[in-house]
Amino acid sequence: MIDSIALFLTTDFVLYALAAGISLALIAGPLGSFIVWRRMSYFGDTLAHSALLGIALGLITNSNPQLSIIISCLLFAFILTLLDRRPSVSTDTLLGILAHSSLALGIVVLAMADSVRVDLEAYLFGALLTIGNVDLIWILVVAALVAAVLYWFWNDFVSITVHAEIAEIEGTNVNRLNLILVLLIALTIAVSMKIVGVLLITSLLIIPPAAARSLATTPEQMSRKASIIGVISVVLGLLSAFYFDVPVGPSIVVVATLIFLGFYFFPAVQNDRG
């Protein structure tokens, strides 16, 4: 048993999967915390679903798939941010329409493109073990970029999340920072598609922070602990996928959910004072 795990963990494709999954989990901690604090999980879903349309369009136009996903995600993020600034439109309804129509349209386009045989399931639920050289480089570069931007603007991001108006009076450019944050989320979703797939990406972003909530007293603690929980979920998810012979993406999400449930029913820190 131990031997087979050791052998499994040192296989090339498993090492690639681990490197990709862990680096994504590390940035998903802080980024996902912002999604939770700002109630943007539906927004993340919409972006993820629209990414499938990006894949479809990339395939029929014969473009680089990773690049077409990134461009379509960034484009959608930009459009959603613009629409969000018009308060007369209900954001909730709008996101619902965009999320599912782009998912449906993506599947229709993929089905019509007879020339290309696509493994739809890999895009919907992830295919972490098929990650190659190029995929890994994309993920590492984007993770490093996202981490650097988050680190650079950290105090400003927290400030606009806590109270946008005070932040603005204090001289923070709230609109610009909102846009940067949304683009970071879009970028992360775009490259993490291979890991857990369109349908499960948001869960990888929001479950670890939700699990870390009761362990934290500051935003920094919550995002750090969310990263740790994310890494644990990736490693345990990968191991159990191997052990029980189940798909990797869903098994990572299941592990994260179990950790969340554990902390939810047995909170470690009592934050409410009497």
Does 162 engage in binding with another protein (CB under 8 A)? yes
> CA 173, 23, 53 angle in degrees (round to 5)?
70
Measured from the CB atom, the residue of 84 and 168 that comes closer to another protein is 168
Letter for the amino acid at 212? A
Measured from the CB atom, the residue of 59 and 183 that comes closer to another protein is 183
Query: According to CB under 8 A, which one of 15, 67, 75, 163 is a site residue for another protein?
Result: 163
Provide the minimum distance between the beta carbon of 211 and another protein in the complex, in angstroms, as a whole number: 12
Residue identified by tokens 């901690």 is 29
Q: How many amino acids of this chain bind another protein (CB under 8 A)?
A: 32
Provide the minimum distance between the beta carbon of 115 and another protein in the complex, in angstroms, as a whole number: 46
Distance, in Å, from the CA atom of 158 to the CA atom of 92, rounded to the nearest integer, reads 24
Does 144 engage in binding with another protein (CB under 8 A)? no
Provide the minimum distance between the beta carbon of 173 and another protein in the complex, in angstroms, as a whole number: 6
| Choices 67-75, 126-134, 185-193, 265-273; region in contact with another protein by CB under 8 A | 265-273
Query: According to CB under 8 A, which one of 89, 144, 170, 258 is a site residue for another protein?
Result: 170
Provide the minimum distance between the beta carbon of 43 and another protein in the complex, in angstroms, as a whole number: 15
- Which residues ranging from 31 to 50 are in contact with another protein (CB under 8 A)? 36-39
Measured from the CB atom, the residue of 137 and 269 that comes closer to another protein is 269
Q: How far apart are the first and last CA of the chain?
A: 49
- Which residues ranging from 203 to 222 are in contact with another protein (CB under 8 A)? 209-210, 213, 216-222
Query: According to CB under 8 A, which one of 3, 114, 119, 272 is a site residue for another protein?
Result: 272
Q: Which tokens go with 125?
A: 């639920």
* DSSP H helices in the chain: 2-9, 12-37, 41-60, 65-84, 91-112, 120-125, 133-152, 154-162, 164-169, 174-196, 201-212, 219-244, 248-265
Contact assessment for residue 31 and residue 205, using Cβ atoms and an 8 Å cutoff: yes
Query: According to CB under 8 A, which one of 3, 12, 119, 165 is a site residue for another protein?
Result: 165
Other beta carbons within 10 Å of 264: 13
Q: Please, what's the largest Cα pairwise distance for the chain? A: 65
Burial pattern 109-120, b for ≥16 Cβ within 10 A else e, equals bbeeeeeeeeee
Does 169 engage in binding with another protein (CB under 8 A)? yes
Return residues touching another protein (CB under 8 A). 36-39, 155, 158-159, 161-163, 165-173, 209-210, 213, 216-222, 271-273
